[in-house]
Every structure is written in C-alpha cells, then in structure tokens.
Chains A and B, each alone.
Chain A
Amino acid sequence: TQLLEQSPQFLSIQEGENLTVYCNSSSVFSSLQWYRQEPGEGPVLLVTVVTGGEVKKLKRLTFQFGDARKDSSLHITAAQPGDTGLYLCAGFTSGTYKYIFGTGTRLKVLA
C-alpha cells in the first residue's frame, strides 16, 4: 500500500514567519501535486512537480520534488493569515492512474 506521510500534522505560527511542510513516501511517483483546501470546499491545486529535483516557485511558496521522486517539500516565506488551510500532497502513479493523498498538514497563521 502506498503511503504519503506529511509532517507536521498541525502548525500554528505568527504572521511573517517561515515554514516548511514535508511529504514523504517509500514509493516513487511520476508526478506530485500540492493542494490547499478550505473547510467545506474541494482541494485547489497549487502546483504539479514532475521531474526529480525540480523546484517551482509560486509567489511566496516554493515547492521541491525530491531527486528520487519519493518526497517533496513546500516552503512558505513570510506566512500570512490567508495561507491558513489544509495542505495536501498527492502522488500520481502512471501505472495505476491513481492519486494517493498525503495525511495532510493543517496550517493556521495568526495575525
């Protein structure tokens, strides 16, 4: 069974602080997505990373895919209250055409 473990599970920080969320697996994925989800809504795609070692930036968010395509990280610089939400990573395996979701990281940014 493929598992994607995210750490930390919960994070409460002050506005302006930096943070990193990790997504780890023993399985190799052909691509990995990061999502943010607000309560009562579906997940919203933030980024897709495909190549091992790839780094993508989206304003204050930096995403990295591990060289072996088994892990990924999300770094947020100068967090803002609007960043509050549930962050989910999801790995895609082309063999099964399935997306496996990580365990989730709940972030709260205090003003």
Chain B
Amino acid sequence: GAVVSQHPSRVICKSGTSVKIECRSLDFQATTMFWYRQFPKKSLMLMATSNEGSKATYEQGVEKDKFLINHASLTLSTLTVTSAHPEDSSFYICSTYPVGTSGGIVTDTQYFGPGTRLTVL
C-alpha cells in the first residue's frame, strides 16, 4: 500500500528556534498534502493544504507566517514552525492521496504519515 513518511519523528527544541518537519510520499506522486495538528487526546485539526508548485491554503485561525509550508516537489512537503514557543508543542501529522497521470485523484482514501512530536522547551 501507499506509504507516507515523516521526519523527524520526535524533536525537542528551545523556545525561539525554528523547526522543519518533512513529509514524503514514498511510492506515489502527491500534488496535494495536508498538514494536521493534534493536541493530546484530541482529534486532528486541519492546518493547511499544501499544493505542489503553488502557495499553501491555510485554515482559518492558522498563522501562515508562523507555520511555513513548502511543497517543492511531487513527493515532498515541509512544514516549518518558526520561532517556536511552548504553545506550539503538539503532534503534527501529514497526509496525502495518490493522483493519476492526468492529475486527478485516484481515490478518496488518504494516507497518513506517522506523525512528528514537537516539544518546545
């Protein structure tokens, strides 16, 4: 089945530093990737939709200058948490779905990365 990887799986950083999280689709092209944030024992909250070759679309209330998203290739999207603070500590998860050769979606099924646990001290 389709595989999505995230790196790193866990990161601890000091307040004020920036952290980059990578999301890769390993065996298919992903023109669209989704970034979610999850607080402990809560559901997933969609932060933004990452589109290859264009600007990301952010959900209401998500600071685009705080959470920089870059989708430079068909298999890689990155989320950079800039000037991280303790309140940014969370579990960040990406997901995507395969597209066909014409760019259309093949299936509604999305595939998730394993998540990245960010802890800001």
Interface residues of A (CB under 8 A from B): 1, 6, 30-31, 33, 40-45, 48, 50, 86, 88, 90, 92, 94, 97-104, 106
C-alpha gap A92/B96 in the complex (Å): 12
Closest to B94 in A: A42
Residue B110 interfacial (CB < 8 Å): yes
Chain B residues with Cβ below 8 Å from A88 are: 43-44
With contacts A33-B109, A50-B108, A97-B32 known, is A40 near B117, CB below 8 A? yes
With contacts A30-B108, A42-B93, A92-B108 known, is A100 near B46, CB below 8 A? yes
Q: Can you list 29 A-B pairs with a CB-CB distance of less than 8 A?
A: A1-B60, A6-B43, A33-B109, A33-B110, A40-B91, A40-B115, A41-B114, A42-B93, A42-B115, A43-B112, A45-B110, A45-B111, A45-B112, A50-B108, A88-B43, A90-B44, A90-B110, A92-B108, A92-B110, A94-B108, A97-B49, A97-B105, A98-B34, A99-B34, A99-B95, A101-B36, A101-B44, A101-B46, A104-B43
B109 touches A48 (CB 8 A): yes
Min distance, Cβ A19 to any Cβ of chain B, angstroms: 19
Chain B interface, >50% SS class: strand
With contacts A40-B117, A41-B114, A102-B43 known, is A48 near B93, CB below 8 A? no
C-alpha gap A71/B108 in the complex (Å): 17
Interface residues of B (CB under 8 A from A): 32, 34, 36, 41-46, 49, 60, 91, 93, 95, 105, 108-115, 117
Chain A residues with Cβ below 8 Å from B36 are: 101
B95 touches A104 (CB 8 A): no
